[in-house]
Amino acid sequence: MTKEELIKGLNEDLAAELGTVIRYNYQAGKSFGVIGIELREMFEEEIKDELGHASFLTDIIIDLGGEPTTTPKEFEKPDTIKEMLELNIKMELEDVENYKKHAEWAEQLDMIELKMKLEDMAADEAGHAREMRRIVKGL
Ligand SMILES: [Fe+2]
Ligand SMILES: [Fe+2]
């Protein structure tokens, strides 16, 4: 494990976060009806979390001597609210796995703050997935 590999991994995480902010903003606009009102509130809250993650990753990449990406990860645009939420659950869980992996890398490089912060972010994403699973269950 090298610092360069860690920077590359964190930049992939950053691209995912930027993509999530754009995806949730887009999906909020596409959420109609009574469920849409609830979803827009949820997306608003989660966008704040994802922006916090993106800003932490940007700082840490710069502190490590890297160049933070400004290019968001691409995402699909399903038609229904159920499909949108299922896509989000899948992508949140991918983020959980990536943060767990990169937390291990940080530990190997003896970066305790980064390790714990990445684990914390994995927990945030797992919480987002759980919240959306509960909504899908009620659809
Ligand atoms: Fe996030
Ligand atoms: Fe999330």
- Asked if residue 109 lies in contact with residue 6, where contact means CB atoms within 8 angstroms, the answer is yes
How high is the pLDDT of residue 88? 98
Q: Taking ligand 2, which is a single-atom ion, which protein residues have CB atoms under 5 Å away?
A: 92, 125, 128
**How far, in Å, is the centroid of ligand 2 from the Cα of 114?**
18
Among 112, 114, 125, which residue's Cα sits nearest to residue 46?
125
For 2-12, how does the pLDDT look when each residue is reduced to its tens digit (9 = 90+)? 999 999 999 99
For 96-109, how does the pLDDT look when each residue is reduced to its tens digit (9 = 90+)? 999 999 999 999 99
Domains and CATH numbers, the chain: 3-137 (1.20.1260.10)
Q: What is the mean pLDDT of residues 39-50?
A: 97
For 72-93, how does the pLDDT look when each residue is reduced to its tens digit (9 = 90+)? 999 999 999 999 999 999 999 9
**How far, in Å, is the centroid of ligand 1 from the Cα of 121?**
6
